[in-house]
Structure 1
Amino acid sequence: MTPSSSPETLSPDLVPFKPKQLRRFYEPVILFKALNDISRKQGNIRLPDHPPKPKTDAERFRLFLDKIASVCDQKKGGPNVTAVTILDQEDAFLYVFACNQVSLAGLKRKASFLSALLKKISGFKDLKPAEKNKARENIVNLILVFNRERIERYLKDLQGKLQDCLESCGLRDHDEVYKIERCLQGLKESIGNVELDAIVDEADYLESCLYCLREIKAFQKATKKASKTNFIDERADEGRASDHKSMACWSEFRHHSTRLLSYDRAVTTLVAAESEWPELFQEVKVQSVPSSRPSKNPLGRKSEDARSIARRMGRVEEDIDRYTELASRLEPEPYNVNGRIRSLCSADGEKDSFKPIVHCEVLVLDWILARKPEPEFFQGWRYIGTSKGTCKMCDYYFSADPSSIKVRPTHGNVYPKWRFPDLYRADGEAGVRRRQNIFNSMMENVRSDAVAILEDRSPIGKTNDSNTYNFQTETTSDLEVEAGESDPFESGDLAQQLTELSFTNTSTSDSLVLSDSDDEEGGTSLV
């Protein structure tokens, strides 16, 4: 359900693109996506580099915003992907957030959750150690309840992959494999039959959910002791390659388990941020931005042929001939590039299924700039946090936008059903020029990247939009691993770790509440 009117109902105040402009824009995007998928299927995987560790206050603030967005993204799938920023107003700090495609009622529920979360975190640093334990437990519970649908999905998927991984272990004869197999069997016996979606009472759900998270964390520690070679991570990395399909269960198992463990680690980041910037949790307001209307399908029958698209991408005769020749080689099986293009343009034979939307980070940017060309951000940090890395289209957009507002590094995946935000006549000539400049820049980048893949068939992007880090590698802190590093360390004082990262005045009791006796700060976390 979308919050807006039909895409066929266009306001007379809008300044739309010309149909030919849109067709010429989306054709290389569709080809880019199809070529990327072909290359991925052939096993030519090239993943984007992880960003460096957050070392400055600005970098740690970015991590904080990403975490806020992450805990607001409570349902698996694209519609609930969330973006958020903080504006510095005279009377309060304004949290502005948007989602890809969520109804007005859904946005209202998210706003209520975010307001409640900020209120629960406010004043955390001033609590006594015993009070912090209870306060942290309440924060964790609030997040677990709001994210219940996503957690249920992750646990169910994890339970399915558990059996697949056990069967994979049975194909190998090695002492280390036996140890991992015993750990997997123990995890299956403890959580294999838990059905969170069958639990009605909220208190019973929380009890079962926390039990599962404790068991997964215990399994993580047990496998670290059982394996000297990071067995699970090695199998998971192999599972990403097309010639190791039998190992795919390991990469999925790692993804689901580390995603489940990410919620408690998110709380560590949030309470550490409150210690550093308590004002961000005191006088606050929350503002949601409505999701966009899906636009009409900008493509036609001429857009379903790779050679025709490639021909229109060329500027000189030599390029045109080379592009069309390369595209023609991908028409037969196993590539079937034209079939892929047709499936991207329309699904299940539905003519108008290709309906692009404005992504959440662009919605937030557009809302901000429409109200104030030079918005005032907290401490001047011009950043929009997101629950997932930005897609390739948003990466192009923000790179070309003159506001210099930053977003998360791209995960590299291409989503063709992306569109520009609405432009209104009231935006004037300046608005038209700004959009056209961004349009031209994106066109150039899309064509350039599509040609690069056409020539060497080496894709960008990854299977899951959210980052999956090593399962068995202990990490220095949530603040560092969330930015991409995962360095092993000996268990130590969490307060000292956070202090070294300039998140001061944080008690050791800020660590885990999944178990009264578990103060281990190891494991991995995800954004």
Structure 2
Amino acid sequence: MAKGRVKSTSPGKEGKQPIMTYVDGLGTISTKLRNRLRRFYNALVLLSSLVEACKVNGQTRANNEGYEPSDNPNVVLECFINKLAQVCDNVPFGDTVTALTITIRNYDGLLYTFASNRQAVGGPDKATDFVCRLLNDMGTATLDQVKDDPHSPLFQRALQQILEFQDKRVLAYRDKLVKSVSACIVDCDASDSHESLSLGNALRDLKDTLTAHKGRDANDILVHAAVTLRASPVYDNIIERTRAGRMNESARWCDLSHFVGRLASYLGMVRTIIIARRRIPELFENFNIVFLPSSTPLPNPITCLQPSTMTAAKRRSLRTAKAIISRMVSESAEISKYQGYAEELQRCGLDELISKECTKESFHPIVHCEILVLDWLCGQHPSGTASIPFFRDFRYIGCSKPTCRLCEYYFAAHRSGIQVRRGHKKVYLNWIVPNVTDESPDWAKEKDNLIDKVMGGVRRDALSALEEKVTDHKRWDSETFSYQQTFQSLARTSVRGTDLASVMSLLSIAEGGPSCRSQRSVIVDDDSWSVAGHADEEAEDSDDDGGALLFWGRRR
């Protein structure tokens, strides 16, 4: 990455033209834009560092994982869009986080428009071919073949197609689940209680099953095993341990529950597509697919927006909580107040965290996929976003993951009024508006307003976190428990054959049969209601190094 170098040039007639400056990696931009970006990333780095500091401080806010059903006719379509985007998100660590919207193409068929954060060469073509095969297979099936039954041929074929395309991600889930199971076994062995002994034995059986099925042809076995575990009485014991003890003690149990949920969610993907095929068949009849190019990552903005001649000592002095707050807050009394709050967090290494965030090798902002789709839609319809022919007039851009906090701020400020998936309150350093260096008059004004609106939200959250020293904290960037809430009718699905007899032994660990279980075990046979409102059911990896949960609201 090129080192930051800034050169300023003044126009011949001061006041009529903006002062321009050259920034390595960005080109020639106005000093006004450079300064705005400096302010934006200063606030963002402070917020991200505060979240990490509050984790160390142990002050976190519990997440509400529950979602209630809805009779909204758009819920199935919303679920379908999100799940189809998730199907395309086949590589761990955030590069293939995918957004999708569905519009009418010249009033003759549908247009599926996808975008991903950072697609590799050839990735969009492979994803396009895969989606075409999946949708065509569903579309050519007769209605009596389209069954909400994991044992039906069409259901099994779709599951196999998805698992093959998602092979890398499934492998990552399996490996991480083995690791978390091992940690939980150690936790059980540290106690001599009967419950811990029984649970530890059950987890050993599960670990044996995981290690015995490593090939991609056994991925469906792992999925059905995860569903069986979630429907078993022993799973309640696991959930109890996710909520007990200190954060570092419950984390391993949260990981266990999370990765079991990740594997189980693949049945949810197929079920959503099956239900959409039954209730909205036109989604599968006449369609085209376009995959938008990803944005080009920017250089580290903290570095490139500062003069290359700046000394290391000067850089360090600017990258402290005290210095950033002095540039964020205008009134001297307020500056002193928030600097005092920041000083209290130095015991958690706040300044060290800021320095680490500023120098991350992975700090290269990109345009997030939802915004890529929005920007493309605006470009295709210059007369105004009201003219965009959304399918069923459903003005929505879905995503494989819940929307990040900065994207939520962006869409709230954008003139389009287009809706996005409900967010998970995570904030990422790697975020930027589209066409950031384009300073044509119309776009520059709109862009500056959008940056300022997002920056305003970031600053408010940072100052609130300083004062309250508490954040919303969740290890993963979507819903771990949502599979059972969204796809209840599959909760009792058994594993294939006898390959997972060891997993079935889990059923005997806890007392009581299915009648003693929670609502997770409820069977819903009819597809008239089988998806949860807002479709926030994914429980993805913490895929991007820049991700952190931010403060939202005051402590009560």
- Closer/same/farther in 2, CA of residues 97 and 125 from structure 1, 3 Å limit: same
The alignment status of 1:231 with 2:247, answered yes or no, reads: no
Letter of the 2:139 counterpart? S
Q: Distance in 1 between matches of 2:58 and 2:395?
A: 38
- State the partner residue of 2:127: 110
Any residues of structure 2 matched to 1:98-247 within 5 Å, and which? 98-124=115-141, 126-128=143-145, 133-196=152-215, 205-206=216-217, 208-222=218-232, 224=233, 226=234, 230-238=236-244, 243-247=246-250
SS of equivalent to 1:369: helix
- Consecutive unaligned residues of structure 1, counting only runs of 5 or more, are 1-6, 197-204, 480-485, 504-523
Structural RMSD (CA): 3.0
* C-alpha distance after superposition, 1:281-331 (max 9, x if no partner): 111111111111111332242541111100111122221221222223333
Q: Calculate the TM-score normalised by the size of structure 1.
A: 0.82
- Closer/same/farther in 2, CA of residues 416 and 437 from structure 1, 3 Å limit: same
Structure 1 counterpart of 2:79, from 63, 72, 85? 63
The alignment status of 1:326 with 2:341, answered yes or no, reads: yes
- Consecutive unaligned residues of structure 2, counting only runs of 5 or more, are 1-22, 307-314, 492-516, 541-556
- State the partner residue of 2:457: 445
Query: What is the deviation of 1:10?
Result: 5.4
Q: Calculate the TM-score normalised by the size of structure 2.
A: 0.78
- State the partner residue of 1:514: none
CA contact (8 A) 1:140 1:263 kept: yes
SS of equivalent to 1:78: coil
Letter of the 1:213 counterpart? V
* C-alpha distance after superposition, 1:362-417 (max 9, x if no partner): 11111111111321111111111111111111111111111111111111111112
Instruction: State the identity as a percent.
Output: 28
- State the partner residue of 1:515: none
* C-alpha distance after superposition, 1:236-280 (max 9, x if no partner): 2337xxx34233221111111110111112101111011111111
Q: How many corresponding residue pairs?
A: 469
- Closer/same/farther in 2, CA of residues 8 and 65 from structure 1, 3 Å limit: farther
CA contact (8 A) 1:254 1:471 kept: no
Q: Distance in 1 between matches of 2:52 and 2:136?
A: 44
Q: Distance in 2 between matches of 1:44 and 1:144?
A: 38
Q: Distance in 1 between matches of 2:538 and 2:48?
A: 29
- State the partner residue of 1:519: none
Any residues of structure 2 matched to 1:59-458 within 5 Å, and which? 59-89=75-105, 90-124=107-141, 126-128=143-145, 133-196=152-215, 205-206=216-217, 208-222=218-232, 224=233, 226=234, 230-238=236-244, 243-299=246-302, 300=306, 301=315, 303-331=318-346, 333=347, 335-347=348-360, 354-372=363-381, 373-374=384-385, 375-422=388-435, 429-458=441-470
Letter of the 1:165 counterpart? C
- State the partner residue of 1:464: 476
Q: Distance in 1 between matches of 2:137 and 2:322?
A: 57
Query: What is the deviation of 1:450?
Result: 0.5
- Closer/same/farther in 2, CA of residues 376 and 313 from structure 1, 3 Å limit: same
CA contact (8 A) 1:15 1:423 kept: no
Query: What is the deviation of 1:159?
Result: 1.4
Q: Distance in 2 between matches of 1:310 and 1:15?
A: 24
CA contact (8 A) 2:487 2:531 kept: no
* C-alpha distance after superposition, 1:8-40 (max 9, x if no partner): 56588x999621110011101110111111112
- Closer/same/farther in 2, CA of residues 392 and 231 from structure 1, 3 Å limit: same
Q: Distance in 2 between matches of 1:354 and 1:525?
A: 26
Q: Distance in 2 between matches of 1:356 and 1:131?
A: 42
* C-alpha distance after superposition, 1:455-509 (max 9, x if no partner): 0111134211131007988964589xxxxxx970655352x2x224699xxxxxx
Q: Distance in 2 between matches of 1:221 and 1:472?
A: 9
Deviates more, 1:55-64 or 1:118-127: 118-127
CA contact (8 A) 2:134 2:158 kept: yes
Q: Distance in 2 between matches of 1:245 and 1:379?
A: 47
CA contact (8 A) 2:364 2:430 kept: yes
- Closer/same/farther in 2, CA of residues 434 and 47 from structure 1, 3 Å limit: farther
Any residues of structure 2 matched to 1:11-26 within 5 Å, and which? 18-26=33-41
- State the partner residue of 1:199: none
- Closer/same/farther in 2, CA of residues 475 and 17 from structure 1, 3 Å limit: same
SS of equivalent to 1:192: helix
Letter of the 1:357 counterpart? I
Q: Distance in 1 between matches of 2:104 and 2:115?
A: 18
* C-alpha distance after superposition, 1:30-82 (max 9, x if no partner): 10111111112222222454554343012332111111111111111111111
Letter of the 1:61 counterpart? L
- Closer/same/farther in 2, CA of residues 526 and 124 from structure 1, 3 Å limit: farther
Q: Distance in 1 between matches of 2:391 and 2:172?
A: 35
Letter of the 1:136 counterpart? F
SS of equivalent to 2:102: strand
Structure 1 counterpart of 2:43, from 12, 25, 28? 28
Letter of the 1:80 counterpart? T
